[in-house]
């Protein structure tokens, strides 16, 4: 597997203001072999970035000896494809189609996609969207993106996130199978499933070859009446790393392993790189 880091782990990454070349230099200096850039409505790489600009970043990564195979499109939280307003759903899909084209120009093979949400906890004005309706709209959106993905040659990696959707690997597998496109699969986030009391190796075994890419983060349960939790440094939480790595190897996964360490903080790149060396050696 290819040891990679998320652009969002860099200072300015979440705001999409960190120059991609600087992020690449930081990643390489910390010992990573790959980087996952991000696209947003505003900032450095956007929905209107032209082909020349994208290819410049593609070439920079190659010159620096870094793998640039994935692009994160996190803006779906601000424009979900499950919005009750049909116009906003169309806006979301068109934006993600544009993002897929930019991913292709960047030389990426997979784009991370958040398929919508039942609720967005930090956006109280949104939802809740009835579950059955949200699933219907999410499925319709993925199908539309599948056509664009096949056209530009970039996979849609549907991520498991805290969006109220697809909290069962059985349901997630069924949705991917119903889409029926080789360019659509799962962008599996190892740490996210611990937040709803599930076991990453079981998800990996169930999803199998449907997994296109993998995000890693660690998650620490803090039990008590308040039900607290904490995303923490790798190897400092409750992710069963040995079993998770064994499950990934069992399904033959050998592509990018992207550490999504949010928010950035001093020393996070170096600590993450060292921890990933231990994880990859398991």
Cα angle for residues 117, 121, 124 (degrees, 5° grid)? 95
CB 162: neighbour CB atoms within 10 A?
A: 14
**pLDDT tens profile 258-268:** 999 999 999 99
pLDDT for the residue numbered 229:
57
Q: Per-residue b/e over 227-262, b at no fewer than 16 CB within 10 Å?
A: eeeebbbbeebebebeebbebbeeeebebbbbbbbe
Identify the band that residue 196 occupies on the pLDDT scale cut at 50, 70 and 90. Answer: confident
Q: If DSSP codes are grouped into helix, strand and coil, which group holds residue 158?
A: strand
Examine the pLDDT at 228 and tell me if it is beyond 60: no
Which domains, ranges and CATH numbers included, belong to the chain? 2-280 (3.20.20.150)
Prediction pTM value: 0.96
Model confidence pLDDT, tens digit, residues 89-107? 999 999 999 999 999 999 9
**Tokens for 267?**
């020393």
pLDDT tens digits, one per residue of 4-20: 999 999 999 999 999 99
Tell me the C-alpha distance between 228 and 107, whole Å. 40
Pick the closest to residue 74 from 30, 120, 28 (CA basis): 120
**Long-range Cβ contacts of 125-133 (<8 Å, 24+ apart):** 126/80, 126/83, 127/164, 128/164, 129/82, 129/83, 129/84, 131/164, 131/165, 133/82
> Are 52 and 86 a contacting pair, CB within 8 Å?
no
Q: Backbone dihedral region of 169: left (phi > 0), alpha (psi from -120 to 50 degrees) or beta?
A: alpha
* Token pair listed for 152: 């530009």
């Amino acid at each position: 597997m290819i040891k990679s880091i998320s652009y969002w782990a860099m200072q300015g990454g979440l705001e999409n203001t960190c120059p991609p070349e600087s992020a690449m230099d930081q990643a390489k200096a910390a010992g990573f072999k790959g980087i996952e850039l991000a696209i947003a409505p505003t900032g450095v790489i956007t929905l209107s970035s032209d082909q020349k600009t994208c290819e410049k970043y593609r070439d920079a990564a190659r010159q620096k000896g870094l793998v640039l195979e994935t692009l994160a499109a996190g803006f779906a939280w601000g424009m979900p494809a499950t919005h009750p307003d049909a116009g906003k759903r169309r806006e979301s899909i068109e934006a993600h189609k544009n993002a897929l084209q930019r991913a292709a120009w960047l030389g990426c093979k997979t784009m991370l996609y958040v398929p919508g949400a039942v609720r967005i906890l930090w956006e109280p004005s949104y939802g809740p969207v009835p579950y059955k309706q949200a699933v219907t709209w999410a499925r319709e959106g993925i199908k539309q993106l599948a056509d664009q993905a096949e056209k530009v040659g970039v996979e849609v990696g549907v991520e498991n996130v805290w969006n109220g959707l697809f909290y069962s690997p059985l349901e997630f597998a069924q949705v991917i199978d119903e889409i029926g496109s080789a360019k659509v699969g799962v962008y599996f986030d190892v740490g996210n499933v611990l937040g709803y009391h599930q076991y990453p190796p079981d998800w990996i075994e169930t999803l199998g070859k449907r997994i296109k890419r993998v995000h890693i983060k660690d998650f620490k349960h803090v039990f008590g009446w308040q039900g607290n939790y904490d995303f923490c440094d790798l190897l400092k939480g409750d992710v069963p790393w040995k079993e998770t790595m064994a499950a990934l190897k069992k399904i033959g996964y050998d592509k990018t392993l992207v550490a999504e360490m949010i928010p950035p903080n001093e020393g996070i790149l170096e600590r993450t790189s060292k921890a990933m060396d231990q994880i990859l050696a398991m």
